[in-house]
Structure 1
Amino acid sequence: MSAQYSVNPIPHSWFGHLYHRNANALEITAEGISFVPTQSLFLSRLPLTNLEHVSWQQLDHPPLFSASLLGSLLSFTASGVSYQIPFLSYFARSHFKHQVELLWALSHEQALYDLIARIEKAISKRYLRQSLLAKMSSRIAREYRRWFPWSASVELPPKTRAALTQLHHFYHWKNAHVEHLREDYIQSQLVAFADFFDSVESNPLTDKQRRACIIDDDNNLLLAGAGTGKTSVMVGRAGYLVASGQAKADDILLLAYGTKAAKEMDLRIKHKLGTADIKASTFHSLGLKIITEVEGVKPSLSAWVNDEPAKDKWVHDRLETLIENESYRKHLFDYFSRYYYVEKSPFEFSTEGEYFEYLHDNDIRSLKGERVKSFGELYIANWLFSNGIEYQYEAKYEYDVSTLEFRQYQPDFYLPQYNVYIEYYGIDSANNTAPYIDNAAYLASMAWKRQLHQKQQTNCIELFYYQHKKNQLINKLEQALTVFKVNYSPLPDDAILATLYELGRVTELAKLFSQLIGLYKAACVDKTGLQRIFSQAADPQQARKAFQLLQPILQLYQEYLSATGDIDFEDMIAKALAYLQSGQYVSPWRYIMVDEFQDISEPRARLVRALRDSRSKTSSSETSLFCVGDDWQAIYRFSGADVSLTTQFAQYFGQTSETHLDLTFRFNNRIGEVASAFVTKNPHQLNKEVHSLIQVVDPAISILRRGVNERARQDEPSANALVQALNALSVHVAKASATSTTEPSTKSITKPTVYLLARFWFQLPDKDLLRQLNAQYPMLSIECLSFHASKGKEADYVVILGLTQGIHGFPSQKITPPLLDAFLPQAEAFQFAEERRLFYVALTRAKHRVYVLADMTNVSPFVVELIQQPYNVELNEFSTSLVQTLFEQIKCARCTTGTLTARTGKFSSFLSCSHFPLCDHQEAGCDLCGSPMTRKRTNGFAVCLDEHCGHIAPLCNLCGADMSLRESARGTFWGCKNYRGNSVPSCSNTIDTATISFKSKPHQKLKQPRDTTLPKPRQKV
């Protein structure tokens, strides 16, 4: 080419000749463009006075010819500077364009070949990460702009044309092309490392497990369902990275939760991979390592790091010391008296039962320990107590006004020293009651009480809900008490403190503060951030009051650490993060793997992200992040875990490749179907399918419905629900053993394992009872675990206990203290989201069968859901009583959410609400057999639930109360049970028996129903 194009001059145009003596303006050579010196050359910005030669290598693109009236114009960019050469021959473009483009191409073709080769090597030798794709796309686009579109019209060598075809293909990559390239790589690795994946674990890895090991984007999230073998992937991926030459052992950082989990991972890797060079680390040991390397000395760890009870005790001791300060003590008393509970208005609830449940589940009690029925009553009681005014809560009225149908009147408060009653009425300033209360009946009751006090000339102070809402309640009480010359004698501080200690509130507060110390330090908030936290709390005022008490302890805590030179867990994470962000520490790891990612807190996630990003500042090699988790098993929000970091992973870490493990080796398909459907009622859970290796036909979750003191059958008087479940389980084990196809000589001697699980430890058998059960069932290995402690474990069978409502119910409805809740990750909008996941964890611990024990008279709503919604559960394995079967039809007529429970009084048996004493509704039950009556079957009638009895009684069409048969001179009639004679309120409605038609005679004598736990027939008075 150099001989052919040794010298090719381009002359001036006629206009250029007027100003230039040289005939030619420039010369085209194989090496580049040479210029004839002239004063008439112009640069777009600078004159070309000193430019003599430009090589083709200096040109970013081939020079461009354009026409003008005064001659052709040559434009080009050399070393980033733009030039224009005017007044060239009018034929310059037609004579020299292709020649110039070809010479430029010949000079740049090697760079093109090299780029194509690098790209082809990259996409064949490694997984195409998003970061690499971005870099390649940028380089491809730049090269594409250099060659296109002009190269299409130039005769180029075949090799160059082939390279340009490939470049054109790269430039027009679509998502489908990228995914195809990645899939080609995965398939090649599956073939190349088939033997490794076959043997790395006891059983060959599944296809999805293998793919999870190979896929290597910048950010990788593996969603692994319960029992799907996530640990096998952690081990397999680490081994694959080393075996494939992509990493050395010290390139891999494996993060586990807790020292125990890290050690278990180390043992698994050593056993499966045959190396001790890959080690798992906890987040705290990682923080310690970073701090040590930066500071050159290993920091001293606080003894509390591994001794939480010691930390709790220190906080408790500091709190006791602070209480000795009068000002602090005053704030403490004020907090316990007015801000200890999260107040909710009765007007916020749709039923009275829901309000009672809130009061009960959060154990709303006065400073004297009494369970009260409203927050207004709570503040009245606490004020009376603190001021030394003796009172009785709901004492019986001094005059007997009880009737056959109505109990004795009990005013809210009674001051015995002054013979003064106090009534707190739940009405607003417009005389409205909460929506679920009969307003007319309530106002009539108020009128009756006023009339009674007036008649008996007893003193009664009336206080109202609207006064409480206006913060006038205590002032109104004080004013009223002065009329009766009530003397105040504020209790000594020691007496109030003694009461607080007796109720356990000081200890409880110290425990809360101990937990808050870590959460507060981890949040790293300034004053503005702290105020924002307060404003977002469920009860901002309560949160501020609690922090006012916490602040001095925070200061003492940090002063203690400074004096001893120690750091705690939060310091380890915070200091390590600061060193990474400042560049004082650069991560040496190219592969970061995090186990149990659904349990991660935001500070830890921040540390992981900083580790990933630190290498990019100093190294061309990007770090790959691989996180394994299951958002369905996120159950640790109370310790700071934030499930949204998993469900919104890409928003926090950037574009992510998400893979799934959907084949569980643990539980059968019937357990999996129920558990999966149950947890995905929450639409915020990530949508994934979990299939079971073990397939069975019949339901594998059996619900045993039995009361606490209820017998199973007459021939088994001592068999409670747990024993019944274990008996049935033993039968299953025996049948499974009998039908096993394993040869007798090879049968495993390992006993089937049974987990007894409950939400709280105290709901489980103690050590003595557990020993008895293991002795009673020698063919089983029985163990007790809480739901949380069972996570990550598995057993052949599971028995779930403690599925009740109430303060220790499940799901737990106890309100988290607002200050604690404010420092925890934001709660999900879906009700009981975490408790629902916790039940999923409990269900999925079992391989073969789950037994759910439930007393339907006080049952968890989760059990009700399992029974009433289309879950495939077994309801007929065990016999059950009438009350257990028809539990929904014996709801309390007053509060609507409580269940009527059989109780025995001094003279008779009766049914009362499970919310007692908050709800004091009572019923006599069926007049014939004592069974519960339901109002839900026939409009206007109460029907006996015992099908062998069938007694029917009308309901009052005026007030809705039960009616009973009564005698008069003219015969029998139905009379309202709310009849009080001349007393107010009273209902005198009657119904003639002749006007009512019954399917069965109301006084028909029937045989005693078969074995039930219903109360005996009520005695006639």
Structure 2
Amino acid sequence: MSLKNIEIVIGHSWFGQLYLSQPSGVKLTSSGIEFTEPEGHCSARYRKPTQSATTTQVSWLQLSSPPVFLPSFLGSLLCFQVGAKSYQIPYLGYFAKSTFLHQVHRLWAQAHEQSLCGLIVRIEHAIENRYLRESIREQIQQRVKREYKRWFPWCESAALSAKLQGALSQLQRFYRWDTAAIAQLRETYIQAQLSAHADFFEHVETNPLTDKQRRACVIDDDNNLLLAGAGTGKTSVMVGRAGYLVASKQAKPADILLLAYGRKAADEMQQRIKDKLGSDNIKASTFHSLGLKIITQVEGAPPSLSAWVDDEAGKTKWVQDTLECLIKNAAYRKQLFEYFSRFYYVERSPFEFASQGEYFEYLTANDIRSLKGERVKSFGELYIANWLFCNGIEYLYEAKYAHDVRSVDYRQYQPDFYLPEYDLYIEYYGIDEAGNTAPFIDKQAYAESMAWKRQQHQQHDTACIELFYYQHKQGQLLSALEHTLTSFGVRLSPLPDDALLNALHELGRVTEFAKILSQLIGLYKAACLDDKRLEAVFNRAANPQQIRCAYTLLKPMLTSYQQRLSANNEIDFEDMIATALDYIQTGRFVSPWRYIMVDEFQDISEPRARLVRALTGATSSVASAKASLFCVGDDWQAIYRFSGADVSLTTQFSDYFGATATSFLDRTFRFNSSISDVATRFVTQNPLQLIKDIQPSVTVTQPAVSLIQRGDNQAATAAEPSANAIEQALNAINARVEQELDSPFKRSACKPTVYLLSRFWFNLPDHNALRQLNLKYPSLSIECQSFHASKGKEADYVVITGLQTGQFGFPSMKITPPLLEAFLPQSESFKYAEERRLFYVALTRAKHRAYIVADMTYASPFVTELLQQEYSIEQHEFGTSLVQQLFEQISCAQCTTGTLTPRAGSFKSFYSCSHFPLCTHKEQGCHCCGSPMTRQRFNGFKVCINDDCGHTTPICNVCGGDMVLRQSARGAFWGCKNYRSNNASSCRNAVDEAKVVLPH
């Protein structure tokens, strides 16, 4: 029934009739409520009307919810609120609620019906014609919650129109949305779009897009992250999504912004879009060219770019030249000398390491050397050596003691330092205040060694200064050294600055420091630090004093750098990002893009991410206050932290950008199942890597990752005619290719491609050697690539080299210079996290097979992991020497982590530790066949690792030396090799042959 012309009067109660002069209380009409209110009376409840009372009319549309009746002793109250003002109309009939409430509800509902139905239509339109973005969902649910509160629960018992009841039913459904319902809404939209644009997805690329690629194109939340494994076709999705947005009329080409990491990638993306979509209107840009465009638009003219934008070498040369000028200043020069003598290296205490071998690996990888260029065995020794050098005191490092004091237990004594001019020795002992040693050193044996050394000096009347680790830890080492040397009459003659500078130049440290400063200028500017944030950088550093000293050297360089840019009215890369960001944040630039797409997102730095985030919230679009962000990346391939890339922006994407729709591309078209299994298992050892289930399009039943275990100096054999491990791999590849050429199922008429890969370029063949390899293997196309350079590329086969330990090994154990580390993204807690991803990148460049070349006596821990954890790799494709096969059995008896490595001496060959010269352990091979001996098969015995020989000897249970079978008048016996006739230091341990049972 229509209530269009209705008029309902609610009368007063008996008290109201007695108390008030008007016969009626409230009039209800189709337009609203009419009642009498005293003029000027602002109270919520009006009193007895006076002659100045006025009639008030309130529209139903002014009421956010229906009026309510409240009982009272003097009659019912009609209560409602208009804006901030509350009304209570008193003295109405006692039965007003039961008589009139349903009519009040119907009149209010009739007035608000159009508004509710319009809301429902708008919501339905939004969820049917667009992907339900999280921001829209929040808006809808907030609006629905408010509307629901206005209508429920009273509407459930009201007599309302069918149209209104239908709208309320929809409102209730929206109110009850849960995660499953929202997911179903989105899925319905996705399926409708996939069906409507099936033909587009079928033909946009050479091959039809996969189901997951298509879904990634359609899903359109506020923030979208597509995690795409290696070779899964992420570029196809970038092209497909851009084309789909235009084809579905959700966007015009000018609404879309594509961002790529580098100029080459942006150009390739632009060409791909042109080829596949036939359009030049969708533009791909680098971050820096985007920044330049924003600056140009705001300032009205393009800024001048520094020549160093495209000339990093030129920038580094300017930095070095400027550094040479700064060095002419005495104060700066003094600070530089202090930095190189005390803070150049990242110090780590030996007490931090579990084994001596790990400590040696750290020293070797970081090439810890004194200012004279000597490799030292501790940081205490480093600072002593540098102090002696800077103060003009001649010294010899680890020179042999003047007296022959060799014994069974001790080699010839070599004190840490000898000052020949004063016939004075210096010993630095690695003990703390309580006499404790590093965990890998036997405390008692070390104490006995100290006592023995003191005894030698006392016995031979030589002077020795003793210094200790705890003095170094307390910052008293050098003052103690100076005080003691002075007491011995040692004269200090500090080297002139020119001499110190020459030493630094000879070691290449000035040039290396200039490179660090050049890189640091960009990192520092990109960080946009104020004084407070800079102080925070210093305080969170492992060694704040070290960072402050280095920053003192950087600051005048920064000043000179900025002055040069300002003088030439130029900007650099960092200015392009920082200035553009400032223009967006201050509203001087309003983004015209409604869809922002970022490629290779795992390589993004925080400043670039900040720019992207600013763009998504600065759109000029009326239809959407926030632009849609779509990022494609693979946290498994994040390998650019050294340039500022922050992998946590990918692994913790939603923390930075907000609620995110995450999709996965898990079908790879590049490598087979074997390569996938090895690479995936390896990279996901890091639990912080996002889990992806990569499904290769090619399944194989045999391992497709082969290990070549071969030393650099290993001779060729009849079975393996090449002494070069790379050529071994190429021979195997060539044989496979020739076999395929003879097959009716050959892959392609093109030459198979082979990448020779390494962590560092110098481990790869040079230009001439590469040319010779291509001539030697004409059926192959061979290229050299570093791991970093190979990213984004693919080859039929890869050969991975340089997998050894050491300064330039892999994983790289070289510590990032502290000043750079301070301005880089926070390092990951998982050991070698980025290096592990780098190995994943190398493995996944291969389509068909990957070859890993490793000398097991210096093997990378990554290669050791592949073997020890039994990855599915092929170990028997190539012949392998016993040393290479059984490297784990011939570990160094002294440092435990090194491997016995064959070496040629002046008179005969022997085996020494792979950590030589830091570890000086050496021993003879089997006297029967010359192979190395292992102590690991049987307790108390050494066994030749050559099973064809199997020679076994006991180990002396007194001194740990080898036992030798000897003859005497009483028969054969095992005697210690350290027997020295009547020498007091001789080991006289001997055991009858009959009492020794050799194990088998």
Pair 1:676-2:680 in alignment: yes
Aligned to 2:27: 27
Aligned to 2:891: 891
CA distance in 1: counterparts of 2:641 and 2:308, whole angstroms: 22
8 Å Cα contact 2:590-2:620 kept in structure 1: no
8 Å Cα contact 1:712-1:721 kept in structure 2: no
Aligned to 2:646: 642
User: So what's the TM-score if we normalise by structure 2?
Assistant: 0.96
In structure 2, relative to structure 1, the CA distance for the partners of 1:929 and 1:84 (3 Å cut) is: same
In structure 2, relative to structure 1, the CA distance for the partners of 1:383 and 1:622 (3 Å cut) is: closer
8 Å Cα contact 1:405-1:978 kept in structure 2: no
CA distance in 1: counterparts of 2:100 and 2:984, whole angstroms: 116
Aligned to 1:98: 102
CA distance in 2: counterparts of 1:515 and 1:88, whole angstroms: 83
- Give the Å deviation of 1:939: 1.1
Aligned to 1:272: 276
CA distance in 2: counterparts of 1:462 and 1:26, whole angstroms: 105
Query: The residue matched to 1:750 in structure 2 has which SS?
Result: coil
- Give the Å deviation of 1:459: 3.2
CA distance in 2: counterparts of 1:639 and 1:984, whole angstroms: 62
Pair 1:736-2:740 in alignment: yes
**1:80-479 to 2 correspondence within 5 Å?**
80-402=84-406, 407-479=411-483
Of 132-141 and 462-471, the range deviating more from structure 2: 462-471
Aligned partner letter, 1:797: Y
Structure 1 residues 575-598: Cα deviation after superposition (integer angstroms, max 9, x where no partner)? 111111111111111101000000
- Give the Å deviation of 1:317: 0.9
8 Å Cα contact 1:448-1:984 kept in structure 2: no
Of 48-57 and 588-597, the range deviating more from structure 2: 48-57
8 Å Cα contact 1:403-1:980 kept in structure 2: no
CA distance in 2: counterparts of 1:142 and 1:478, whole angstroms: 80
Query: The residue matched to 2:812 in structure 1 has which SS?
Result: coil
Aligned partner letter, 2:106: L
* From 520, 534, 539, the counterpart of 1:535: 539
Query: The residue matched to 1:86 in structure 2 has which SS?
Result: strand
- Give the Å deviation of 1:342: 1.5
CA distance in 2: counterparts of 1:59 and 1:905, whole angstroms: 102
CA distance in 1: counterparts of 2:879 and 2:394, whole angstroms: 52
Aligned to 2:870: 870
Aligned partner letter, 2:815: I
In structure 2, relative to structure 1, the CA distance for the partners of 1:798 and 1:41 (3 Å cut) is: same
Aligned partner letter, 2:385: A
Aligned to 2:963: 963
- Give the Å deviation of 1:419: 2.5
In structure 2, relative to structure 1, the CA distance for the partners of 1:441 and 1:66 (3 Å cut) is: closer
Aligned to 1:56: 60
- Give the Å deviation of 1:116: 1.2
CA distance in 2: counterparts of 1:795 and 1:468, whole angstroms: 53
In structure 2, relative to structure 1, the CA distance for the partners of 1:896 and 1:14 (3 Å cut) is: same
Pair 1:573-2:556 in alignment: no
Query: The residue matched to 1:783 in structure 2 has which SS?
Result: strand
8 Å Cα contact 1:812-1:835 kept in structure 2: yes
Structure 1 residues 883-924: Cα deviation after superposition (integer angstroms, max 9, x where no partner)? 000001111000011111111111111110111111110101
CA distance in 1: counterparts of 2:502 and 2:647, whole angstroms: 41
In structure 2, relative to structure 1, the CA distance for the partners of 1:430 and 1:135 (3 Å cut) is: closer
In structure 2, relative to structure 1, the CA distance for the partners of 1:475 and 1:162 (3 Å cut) is: closer
CA distance in 2: counterparts of 1:4 and 1:684, whole angstroms: 66
8 Å Cα contact 2:751-2:780 kept in structure 1: yes
Structure 1 residues 668-710: Cα deviation after superposition (integer angstroms, max 9, x where no partner)? 0110011000000000000111100011111000001111111
* From 687, 694, 703, the counterpart of 2:691: 687
In structure 2, relative to structure 1, the CA distance for the partners of 1:75 and 1:42 (3 Å cut) is: farther
Query: The residue matched to 1:430 in structure 2 has which SS?
Result: coil
Query: The residue matched to 2:363 in structure 1 has which SS?
Result: helix
Aligned partner letter, 1:128: L
CA distance in 1: counterparts of 2:92 and 2:889, whole angstroms: 102
Aligned to 2:838: 838
8 Å Cα contact 2:601-2:650 kept in structure 1: yes
Aligned length: 996
- Give the Å deviation of 1:875: 0.6
CA distance in 2: counterparts of 1:977 and 1:82, whole angstroms: 107
Aligned partner letter, 1:814: K
Query: The residue matched to 1:52 in structure 2 has which SS?
Result: strand
Of 490-499 and 409-418, the range deviating more from structure 2: 409-418
Structure 1 residues 321-370: Cα deviation after superposition (integer angstroms, max 9, x where no partner)? 11111111111111111111112222221111111111111100011101
Aligned partner letter, 2:71: A
Aligned partner letter, 2:856: M
Pair 1:592-2:605 in alignment: no
Structure 1 residues 948-994: Cα deviation after superposition (integer angstroms, max 9, x where no partner)? 11111222324433333345554443344455678787654333322
In structure 2, relative to structure 1, the CA distance for the partners of 1:146 and 1:444 (3 Å cut) is: closer
**1:692-841 to 2 correspondence within 5 Å?**
692-714=696-718, 716-741=720-745, 748-841=748-841
Of 303-312 and 469-478, the range deviating more from structure 2: 469-478
- Give the Å deviation of 1:63: 1.8
In structure 2, relative to structure 1, the CA distance for the partners of 1:977 and 1:429 (3 Å cut) is: farther
Pair 1:850-2:850 in alignment: yes
CA distance in 2: counterparts of 1:41 and 1:337, whole angstroms: 87
Query: The residue matched to 2:700 in structure 1 has which SS?
Result: coil
Structure 1 residues 458-508: Cα deviation after superposition (integer angstroms, max 9, x where no partner)? 333333323322333323333333344333222221111111001000011
Aligned partner letter, 1:500: L
In structure 2, relative to structure 1, the CA distance for the partners of 1:87 and 1:283 (3 Å cut) is: same
Of 14-23 and 394-403, the range deviating more from structure 2: 394-403
In structure 2, relative to structure 1, the CA distance for the partners of 1:449 and 1:3 (3 Å cut) is: closer
Query: The residue matched to 1:950 in structure 2 has which SS?
Result: coil
State the Cα RMSD in Å: 2.1
Of 259-268 and 447-456, the range deviating more from structure 2: 447-456
Aligned to 1:506: 510
CA distance in 2: counterparts of 1:37 and 1:330, whole angstroms: 89
User: So what's the TM-score if we normalise by structure 1?
Assistant: 0.94
Aligned to 1:559: 563
8 Å Cα contact 2:807-2:813 kept in structure 1: yes
- Give the Å deviation of 1:808: 0.4
Of 131-140 and 18-27, the range deviating more from structure 2: 18-27
Aligned to 1:910: 910
Query: The residue matched to 1:411 in structure 2 has which SS?
Result: coil
8 Å Cα contact 2:377-2:918 kept in structure 1: yes
8 Å Cα contact 1:805-1:859 kept in structure 2: yes
- Give the Å deviation of 1:91: 2.3
8 Å Cα contact 2:722-2:728 kept in structure 1: no
Structure 1 residues 729-764: Cα deviation after superposition (integer angstroms, max 9, x where no partner)? 11111223333436xxxx743100000000000000
How much identity, in percent, do the aligned residues show? 65
Structure 1 residues 263-311: Cα deviation after superposition (integer angstroms, max 9, x where no partner)? 1100000000000000101111111111112222211111111111111
Query: The residue matched to 1:173 in structure 2 has which SS?
Result: coil
CA distance in 2: counterparts of 1:490 and 1:514, whole angstroms: 31
Query: The residue matched to 1:321 in structure 2 has which SS?
Result: helix
CA distance in 2: counterparts of 1:309 and 1:468, whole angstroms: 39
Aligned partner letter, 1:170: F
Query: The residue matched to 2:361 in structure 1 has which SS?
Result: helix
Aligned partner letter, 1:142: R
CA distance in 2: counterparts of 1:42 and 1:451, whole angstroms: 105
8 Å Cα contact 1:797-1:846 kept in structure 2: yes
In structure 2, relative to structure 1, the CA distance for the partners of 1:647 and 1:616 (3 Å cut) is: farther
Query: The residue matched to 1:614 in structure 2 has which SS?
Result: coil
CA distance in 2: counterparts of 1:234 and 1:733, whole angstroms: 34
Query: The residue matched to 1:275 in structure 2 has which SS?
Result: coil
8 Å Cα contact 2:641-2:824 kept in structure 1: yes
Aligned partner letter, 1:854: A
Of 486-495 and 931-940, the range deviating more from structure 2: 486-495
CA distance in 2: counterparts of 1:103 and 1:80, whole angstroms: 22
CA distance in 2: counterparts of 1:249 and 1:63, whole angstroms: 52
- Give the Å deviation of 1:788: 0.2
CA distance in 2: counterparts of 1:73 and 1:569, whole angstroms: 72
8 Å Cα contact 2:617-2:627 kept in structure 1: yes
In structure 2, relative to structure 1, the CA distance for the partners of 1:365 and 1:868 (3 Å cut) is: same
